[in-house]
Structure formats: C-alpha cells, structure tokens
Amino acid sequence: MKTIFTTIALLLSTFSILNSQEKLNIDSSKSQLKWFGEYTFYFGGHEGYMNFEEGYFIKTDDAITGGEFIINMNSILCLDIEDEEANEGLVNHLKDPDFFDVAKFPKASMVITNVDYHNSNHMKIYADLTIKGITKPISFQAEVDFAKKQMTTKFKIDRMKWGISYNSDIKDSAISDAIGFDVKLSL
C-alpha cells in the first residue's frame, strides 16, 4: 500500500513539474495602451493613452497560455489636441455615458482564454474584453519578445458591440465604429 502512495506522489510531482505554471505580473509603469479613434469619411481623428491598473500573464512551461489585464478608464488622455480646454472637453466627453461611461464603469478588463502559437514568438490570442460591463470575445495577432520581457499587438474593435454608441449626425464629423489599440505589455 505504501508503494502505491509513493508511486502516485511521484507521478503527481512529475506531472506538476512538466506542466509548471507561473504568474508573470506586468509592470504597469512600462506597459502602454494607446487608443485611436478615426473619422469615417476622411483621414484624421484622435489618439491618446489609457493606463493599465494591473495585469498578469500565465506562463505554462515556456509558453504564454493565459492572463488578465485591468484598465483604469479614468486615465484616458488625448494626445493630439494642443488647446488645453478643447483637450479637456474631448476627454470629458469620452468619459460620458455615450462613450465609456466612466463614472459607472471605471474599469475595463481583458482575459486571455486561448493562445495559438504560429512559432515561438508569434501567436493568435483569443480573449474576452469587458467594457461598460459588456463582455465580448475578441482575437488578435501578437508578438512576444522573451529577451525584452515584452508582448506587442495592434487590433481594432467595433465600439458598437460594447455600447459605445456616440453617433454624430454630421457627415464631416462622423466617427468610425472602429477603435484601434496599440498595446505594449512589459514585465
């Protein structure tokens, strides 16, 4: 009987070594989340940053297999408007209910649900993105640089799926339904 327990313990410890998981916290001061909002009928738009509040990757053996990231929606900044009053007006408008409704939903999140590797550094990530309390699946291509301890990606979402429903009646100022993101996550 003692031999059976010893064998089971040895098998379980071997299995846990073979499938070792590690939680890798991001460095939110080095990580960046840049957003882009464009006009529908001509070039231009606005861009800025939001801050990661916290986040982590799950690393199983030598591969990223999961993770979760929290975004502080109150940190929205606009970079392209130099006039301070106009800049503040746009940022406040982005925080309104017809955009991100930051008073009611101060945080957004993304949870990685699956990762398909193309090679050791390039992958397709499947995730659940929650904005304004609405969770929808997304997928995007990403690149990881293990030497720099960094992952980068660019992707777009259809804002209407998350209830970001601002709609301008004027053709010249109509904004695209797509919001672009340029992301760098650093450990």
| pLDDT tens, position by position, 153-187 | 999 999 889 988 876 555 445 778 889 999 999 98
Q: Is it the case that residue 10 has pLDDT exceeding 80?
A: no
Domain segments of the chain: what residues? 20-186
DSSP 160: G
| pLDDT tens, position by position, 65-108 | 999 999 999 999 888 877 888 888 888 888 998 889 999 999 99
DSSP 174: P
- Does CATH place domain 20-186 in 2.40.128.110? yes
Q: Which sign, positive or negative, has the C-alpha torsion 75, 87, 33, 168?
A: positive
**Most trustworthy range by pLDDT among 44-53, 80-89, 134-143, 170-179:** 134-143
Report the Cα 57 to chain-centroid distance in Å: 12
Tokens for 126, please give them: 């499947």
